[in-house]
Amino acid sequence: MSTPTISSPVLVINAGSSSLKFSVFDIRAGREVLSGLAERLSSPEAVLSWRLEGDDKQRREIPGQDHEGALGEVHQLLEAIGEPLAIGHRVVHGGEAFAESVVIDDSVIAGIDQCASLAPLHNPPNLLGIRTMQSLYPEVPQVAVFDTAFHQSLAPEAYLYPVPIGLYREQGVRRYGFHGTSHHYVAGQAVRRLELDPADHGLITAHLGNGCSATAVRNGRSVDTTMGMTPLEGLVMGTRSGDVDPGLHEYLAERLGLTLKEITAMLNRDSGLLGLSGVSNDMRTLTEAAASGNADAQRAIDVFCFRLARQVGALAASLHRLDALVFTGGIGENAAPIRAQVLERLPLFGFVCDDRLNRQHGDEHGRITTGESTTALVVATREEWMIAQDAFNLTHS
C-alpha cells in the first residue's frame, strides 16, 4: 500500500444502522485521500472495502464485526496516514436543538441522545461512532454535522403539521427535513456557478439518491422541504413510499390484520420504486428494464417523476423567483431520462431540456437547459467534503 503525503488529514464518519462510511480529506489540499465502507455489520457477511488515493480498491471480510470493530479497522488504516486534525460525524437528527454544526462535548452528546426517539434507527449508531472515536482518539476534536440543521430556518407555517398543537409542544411532532448538508452544498454551488446574488435568489434543489427529498432555498435559507418528522415523507424513493394518505394505516390494519410496526416497515422497505415496479429499488436497473419493455418498471418511473414534478410545483410557492432547479444524488447526477421527464412535466415553469447537454450531464456549469429556458442544473453533491470542512473550520479557526 503506497501512502500519499498528507499534511492536514480530516476524518469523516457516517455510521448507519448496519454500515459505516468513512473518508479522509487532506483539507488544505482539497483532496480525498481515503474512502471506504464497512457493510453488513454484526453479520457473518460483514465486509470492509476501501480505496487509498492512487491505489486500487481493497476488500477484506470482517465476519461478525460490529460498528466498534469496524471503527477499529478504520483506526488501523489511518496509521498509514497519521492522526487526523479533526473528526466530523454525520448525525441524522438534531431536532430543534441544533441549527448548525457543533464541536462535540458532553452536552452535545446528551442533546443527540435526546433526539434519538425521533430517529431510533439513525442517532444511536451515530452516537456509537462518536463515542468509539473519542476512545480511539481522545485528543482529537470532533464535530457533529446534522442532516436536519439546514432546515431549522423553516417558518412555523412550513414546519407545523395541522394536528393538535400539544403534539408539537410536548412530543416534538413537526417537520424537520433531512439531506440538509447536500441541499446546502448544491444550493451554494448553484449560486456560485450562475453568479446569483447570495442575498437574492430562489432555487429548488432535488436530492435524488436511495432516499429522495427536494428543498426550496430562498436567499441561502431552506424555506420548505419535502421530508418531514422522519425521512419517510415526501417524494417516492427507492424503497420508501413518500406521501400516502394517513388513512391507509387503519385500512390496512383492519383489512389485513397488520400491526402499525408492520405497516411502517412496509412503507419504509417494500414500497417506493421497488414496491411499485416489483422489479428493483435501483433506478439504473429500472431504466434498463423499462427500455427493454417492462411496463411495471416504466410505470414506477412515471410515478416517481410525476410526484417529483408535483412537489417542485408546491415548493415554488415559497419562492419569489425560480433561478434554477438543481438535480443531485445518484439519480439526479446520472439519470438523464429522469431529469428530462421531470422538466417535461413542468411546462408552466418554462423549462426546455437541451438533450445533448442533458445526456452529457450538463455543460461546464452543469446546465442542462437551452438558452431561453428557465435554468436546470446538475451539481454533484459532496456531503462528506462539507462535513470535513465544518469539522476543520470549527476546530482550527
Footprint on residues 160-179 left by ligand ADP (CB under 6 A):
none
Out of 211, 228, 272, 362, the residue judged to bind ligand ADP by CB under 6 A: 211
* Least CB distance to ligand ADP at residue 91 (A): 16
Q: Does 287 bind ligand ADP (CB under 6 A)?
A: yes
Q: Does 359 bind ligand ADP (CB under 6 A)?
A: no
Nearer to ligand ADP, 304 or 351 (CB): 304
Nearer to ligand ADP, 99 or 121 (CB): 121
Nearer to ligand ADP, 68 or 302 (CB): 302
* Least CB distance to ligand ADP at residue 311 (A): 18
| Distance of alpha carbon 258 from alpha carbon 286, whole angstroms | 29
Out of 228, 238, 272, 362, the residue judged to bind ligand ADP by CB under 6 A: 238
Number of Cβ within a 10 Å radius of residue 163: 12
Q: Does 272 bind ligand ADP (CB under 6 A)?
A: no
Coil, strand, or helix at residue 89?
strand
Q: Which residues pair with 376 in a beta bridge?
A: 325
Coil, strand, or helix at residue 324?
strand
Nearer to ligand ADP, 103 or 380 (CB): 380
Q: Does 180 bind ligand ADP (CB under 6 A)?
A: no
Instruction: Give yes or no for a contact between 328 and 182, defined as CB atoms under 8 angstroms apart.
Output: yes
Q: Which of 147, 224, 323, 354 is catalytic?
A: 147
147 is catalytic: yes
Nearer to ligand ADP, 158 or 380 (CB): 380
Q: Does 242 bind ligand ADP (CB under 6 A)?
A: no
Q: How does DSSP assign 241-306, residue by residue? A: --S--TTHHHHHHHHH---HHHHHHHHHHS-HHHHHHSS-S-HHHHHHHHHTT-HHHHHHHHHHHH
DSSP class of residue 362?
Answer: -
Q: Which residues pair with 23 in a beta bridge?
A: 12, 35
Out of 19, 114, 334, 395, the residue judged to bind ligand ADP by CB under 6 A: 334
Residue with cell 446538475: 378
| Distance of alpha carbon 235 from alpha carbon 331, whole angstroms | 13
Coil, strand, or helix at residue 351?
coil
Q: Does 386 bind ligand ADP (CB under 6 A)?
A: no
Residue 143, by phi and psi: left (phi above 0), alpha (psi -120 to 50) or beta?
beta
Nearer to ligand ADP, 215 or 287 (CB): 287
| Distance of alpha carbon 28 from alpha carbon 30, whole angstroms | 6
| Distance of alpha carbon 14 from alpha carbon 41, whole angstroms | 14
Footprint on residues 301-330 left by ligand ADP (CB under 6 A):
329-330
Number of residues that bind ligand ADP (CB under 6 A): 13
* Least CB distance to ligand ADP at residue 40 (A): 15
| Contact positions vs ligand ADP (CB under 6 A) | 209-211, 238, 282-284, 287, 329-331, 334-335
Catalytic residue numbers read: 147
